[in-house]
Homo-oligomer: A and B are copies of this chain.
Amino acid sequence: MKVLSKSSEYGLRALLYMVTRSGEQEYVSIREMSEELEISFHFLTKILQNLTQANMLVSYRGPSGGVAFNTPPEDILLVDVVRILEGDDFFDKCLLGLPGCGERSPCPMHEFWKGIKAALKQEFETTSLAAMGKSIQLKSLRLVP
């Protein structure tokens, strides 16, 4: 079952890594993150660029540069991240992919799926990066803990 693309997964893991580092230095190096989390550097760079262009992060070049949160992670919700990396219609899609599916003409899984989706949405809309970060052991973000 694949809910998030690799891009979202990598982006989220990097953001959570940044949360565990917040306060240490202004900017967190993308290279460092790519090595710690074992994610391709160039790929991660491109993902974080999306977040930077969406003003979730700010970046800085040169020595001791990197990326940093533009707004405190307390104010960034999971849904914000996912909307940027997966697209705006993340929660609007039908489970079966039927374009006409909706209240008016529900697909066979509509009712069943509606409850699950609402629960997921609720969680995504109330969970902040900071809240997730609170319970993180750094090793759990790595590939082979």
Question: Which residues of A line the B interface, CB within 8 A?
Answer: 1-4, 6, 9, 12-13, 16, 86, 90-91, 93, 95-101, 105-112, 115-117, 119-120, 123, 127, 132-133, 135-137, 139-141, 143-145
Contacts and interface: CB of A to CB of B under 8 A. Distances in A.
B105 A139 contact: yes
A17 to B, nearest CB: 10
Contacts of A141: 98, 107-108
Contact of A116 (B12, B123, B132): B123
Contacts of A112: 123, 127
A13 B99 CA distance: 13
A140 B94 CA distance: 12
A11 B141 CA distance: 35
Given A3-B1, A116-B116, A116-B123, A108 B133 contact: yes
Contacts of A12: 96
A74 B36 CA distance: 50
Given A97-B9, A99-B143, A139-B105, A3 B4 contact: no
Contact of A16 (B108, B120, B133): B108
A137 to B, nearest CB: 8
A52 B44 CA distance: 42
